[in-house]
Amino acid sequence: MPTAEVRRAMRAQDRRRFLPPEVAGDHRRDAPLPIGHGQTNSQPSTVADMMTLLEPFPGMRVLDVGSGSGWTSAILGELGGPGSAVYAVELVPELVERSRAALTQPWVRVHQARPGELGLPEYGPFDRILVSAMGEALPQELVDQLAEGGVMVAPWRDVMHRVRRTSGELEVTDHGGYRFVPLRHTRF
């Protein structure tokens, strides 16, 4: 169940601003919406679940992998506030530009993903990592960017997982079935 803080942050960052005009009228639908290039803006209930599992906090350093439209990045920026640093990374150049134009928080920055590299290791470690694309397995490259005490929420093999790093150990828990676009390291 989403927290009141997550619901407030999602309301504060209007989904319409992050959608192409042809689907913006559907912003209230609890469904993934196409944003072009074979990508989607995730279903609001899924985003709420992921944000709640992530356990965001003010002032966090967070990585948003597969940021797409920038909506989840804006929500993370809302939850972290001006003292946070949100690093969004997206592979599709057109989506990078569109999301940069939609974002209004100066502490949220969208980076162009580099083919063959997952995440932004040069900016880590991160307190929180959100992955909005389906992987095949636990993304070790991202685990390596997770700070001590950090939490990553990522789907792989059709299941949402939360990964918590504590004393160098990983605690991985399952949180139900979900569907996402595939996690890609290279341009199609």
Q: Active-site residues: which are they?
A: 42
Do strands 61-65 and 108-112 pair parallel, antiparallel, or not at all (unpaired)? unpaired
Location of structure tokens 């959608």: 19
Residue type, 179: R
> Going by C-beta distance under 8 Å and a sequence separation of 6 or more, which residues neighbour residue 101?
none
CB 138 within 8 A of CB 165: no
Counting Cα atoms < 13 Å in the Cβ hemisphere of 102 gives: 26
